[in-house]
A and B are shown apart, each in its own frame.
Chain A
Amino acid sequence: MTSSLKISNLVKKFGGLVATDNLSFVVKEGQSVGLIGPNGAGKTTVFAQIMGEHRQTSGSIELFGREISNDTTPERIRRGVSRTYQVPRPFSDMSVLENIRVGLMPNNLWQMIASKPRREKETELALSVGFLESDLEKTPGELSMGDLRKLEMARTIATGTKVMLLDEVFAGLTVAEIAQITQVIQKMRKDGMTFLIVSHDLKALEPLIDHVIAINHGSKIAEGGFNEVMNDADVRSSYLGVV
């Protein structure tokens, strides 16, 4: 298995605050990795650096063996990495299909003018994440939190991503919605998608991951199988609150 995403000695400083402290890890192709840690541990900052939303202070980020640190966010997305956000960010006045359309668009102004929307593909993506035909013309204001998360996943898949970063994908969801999102992720895993998943809902996270990385204060404190990491003394004291 070759590496999809390789983070080496990543450091991010905000003034005097070290948000990411010499962090290194690898996510192999087709693997699903959990990234856990207490609030403020720096998980979302890691995502932001992978996507180029924050430029790292030092260290490198490789995607499929290629350094992407100097690429812009849209360039990184076109190379195959994409993310969802803790708080979904839909296009509020657009329908479900139009939201997905934005993810499918070519990053070329002329092609945007000349090419027609791929309505069949939009529908296929919407249905693949669990939307019903009757939901397709709804706007985000009419959707539940679970639907908003599905919409964000569908738009992310639409960009042609091969590595998906999911940030708190279960936050604010009902038990039924968690089960539905879990099903979608499991299906995508079977289809070969690579995942890096941040979640505080460890129960929901466990069946979705091959192994887990725990971080605190921006640096790695444990890595391994789910049970192994949960029993790690540092993880238990800093994250689980068990001594």
Chain B
Amino acid sequence: MNLRWTHVVMWLAFVALMFAIPEFVSKGTLRTLIFANFLAIFAISWDVLSGRTGYISFGHPFLIGIGAYTSAILTKRFDVPIEFAIPAAVVMTMIGGIIVFLPALRIKGSYFALVTLAFMELMYQLVQVIRPDLTGGTRGMSGVQTLTRGAVNGYYLSVSLMLAVALSMWLLMRTQLGTALSAVGMNEESVRGSGLSTTKLKLFAFLTSAFVAGLGGAFYVHYLGSIAPRALFDINFLFTIIVAALIGGASTIIGPVIGAFFLTFLLEYLRPYLPGAERYFIYGLIALLLYMYEPKGLIALIDKGWQRLRGAADRKETV
């Protein structure tokens, strides 16, 4: 693992900043930040799979939904303690991850993306008709046990989870395994031709992605205290996750976090001016422009800015 002291300093600064935020912002802003934290977790989950291996998932809400529904059903319908329900939800989501993985053994590219989209749509239909006494049918479930009360506690819970996920995934992706997963995204045949089992690598990526999605989904439902199939298995929710990862910088782990915060606040600040779906037009336009001029996302822009600053400082020292 290639770690430098600057990495440690930057992570410490990031953690300190995130934990200090509740001291400076309103409760309304904190609620926006909570959503940004969860969106960051979902975008990281998407990034581990699609950003790295190039298997574009259009069905991530399917995985998040398994985590959220499993934990909600177990706690509300079967009175399972939340500390057992969440791990069970994560395991169930990983099983869901294996189901999504199976088509990846045979197909890739746009065909794979469409199959995963079908998974999301199938899940949307199924939760409404199969055992509505458990899932709540079309209306979903409310009164699900919550883990915290109030915006501040909710924020600390979500930010702790987001930071834990981001740091562990960032460390994991800096190992040789991260390099191998990126290699799968660049040229799968060459990875196989280098003596590595791409099946094992892809299975790992799908399981890890599902683990994060399940964890995020389960905690999200216990933050909201309710779940509705229409909101969860929604194309806008799916694209918000994907755009967050792409706009921030795919295959970087930190990029999706930046993208999630940028997107959430952009949509929030546009709300007073454009209360309807027009907001999505603006964010789509920004995403398009950014993607055209800097396909590697906001993280690449930040990196370029940083390099320029360092260059300027070095020049000053030489003079």
Contact = CB atoms under 8 A, between A and B. Distances in A.
Interface of A: 51, 72-74, 77-78, 82-83, 85, 89-94, 98, 101-103, 105, 107, 109, 112-117, 155, 158-159
Sorted nearest first, the 10 A-B pairs with minimum C-beta distance are A77-B195, A112-B177, A89-B190, A91-B186, A112-B176, A159-B195, A103-B194, A113-B175, A102-B194, A74-B195
B1 interface: yes
A73 B175 contact: no
A89 B193 CA distance: 10
B187 interface: yes
Given A74-B195, A107-B196, A91 B190 contact: yes
A45 B228 CA distance: 54
B142 interface: no
A82 B196 contact: no
B180 interface: yes
30 contacts: A51-B193, A72-B197, A73-B192, A73-B193, A74-B197, A77-B193, A77-B195, A82-B193, A85-B193, A89-B193, A93-B186, A94-B179, A94-B182, A94-B183, A98-B179, A102-B179, A102-B180, A102-B191, A105-B176, A105-B179, A105-B196, A107-B195, A107-B196, A109-B200, A114-B175, A116-B176, A117-B179, A155-B194, A159-B194, A159-B195
Contacts of B172: 113
A42 to B, nearest CB: 20
A45 to B, nearest CB: 16
Question: Which of B179, B183, B193, B200 has the largest count of A CB atoms less than 10 A from its CB?
Answer: B193
Contacts of B180: 102, 105, 112
A114 B174 CA distance: 11
Contacts of B179: 94, 98, 101-102, 105, 117
Given A73-B193, A105-B196, A113 B176 contact: yes
Nearest to A76: B195
The number of chain B residues touching the other chain, given as a range, is: 20 to 34
Contacts of B183: 91, 94, 102
B246 to A, nearest CB: 16
Contact of B187 (A92, A113, A117): A92
A116 B175 CA distance: 7
Contacts of B193: 51, 73, 77, 82-83, 85, 89
B278 to A, nearest CB: 36
A162 B299 CA distance: 43
Contacts of A73: 192-193
Contact of B189 (A89, A101, A102, A112): A89
B176 A91 contact: no
B204 A109 contact: yes
Contact of A102 (B196, B200, B204): B196
Given A94-B182, A94-B183, A115 B176 contact: yes
Question: Which of A77, A83, A109 has the largest count of B CB atoms less than 10 A from its CB?
Answer: A109
Nearest to A51: B193
B76 to A, nearest CB: 37
Contacts of A158: 194
Nearest to A118: B176
